[in-house]
Every structure is written in C-alpha cells, then in structure tokens.
C-alpha cells in the first residue's frame, strides 16, 4: 500500500536550495519515492495547516518512506535545509 510523506516548508533564506535540490531527488528515488506536488498551498476551509510550501511525496509503502527518512544520506540534507527553513513532515498511509 502506498504511503505519502507530507511536508510543510517555511523559507527564511534560499542559500541552501541549490545543493539540496541537486541531491534530494536522487535520495527520494533511491527509496522508490516520487514527488507528486511542491507548491504554496491554498486554504479552502478552516485555518491554514501548511503556512508555506507543501511537498507531497509518494512511496511504495510506509517502510520505504521510513527508510528514506532514516537514510544516513538524509542527515546532512536535513542540516542543510534547517539552515534556511523550518520543516514539518508527516506520513500518511494510502487506502
């Protein structure tokens, strides 16, 4: 069953984005993932849940998503991203 990593990114600066953008797609693909969406959100009802940019990544399974998140190659990318953004990440299993 597919699983979806849903991230919310609030940018403070863009200094980190070039290196991060060059390395993250390969790490996602390594674990069978595919970026489905990456854009500012529009709130249709209630309070804004994702205040900045939302990212939606599909993985073949929950385990694939967890393996991606726990991959040692992810550690320096997280540090790089945190130098210029706040990021929240949730995992949702598909139906």
Q: Does residue 47 register a pLDDT over 90?
A: no
Q: Where are the domains of the chain?
A: 3-93
**pTM of the complete model:** 0.93
pLDDT-derived band at 52, boundaries 50, 70, 90: confident
User: CA nearest 28: which of 5, 54, 44?
Assistant: 5
Q: What is the pLDDT of residues 10-38, one digit of tens each?
A: 999 999 999 999 999 999 999 999 999 99
CATH fold of the domain at 3-93: Alpha-Beta Plaits (3.30.70)
> Residue 53, SS3?
strand
Which residues are CB-contacts of 57 (< 8 A; sequence separation ≥ 6)?
Answer: 4, 5, 6, 7, 28, 33, 34, 35, 36, 65
| Residue 48: band (very low, low, confident or very high) from pLDDT cuts 50, 70, 90 | confident
Greater confidence (51 vs 34) lies with 34
């Amino acid at each position: 069953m597919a699983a979806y990593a849903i991230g919310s990114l609030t940018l403070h600066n863009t200094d980190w984005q070039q290196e991060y953008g060059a390395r993250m797609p390969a790490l996602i693909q390594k674990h069978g993932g595919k970026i489905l969406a990456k854009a500012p959100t529009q709130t249709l009802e209630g309070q804004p849940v994702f205040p900045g940019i939302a990212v939606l990544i599909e993985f073949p399974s929950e385990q694939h998503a967890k393996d991606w998140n726990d991959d040692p190659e992810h550690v320096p990318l997280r540090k790089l991203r945190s130098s210029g953004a706040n990021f929240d990440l949730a995992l949702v299993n598909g139906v």
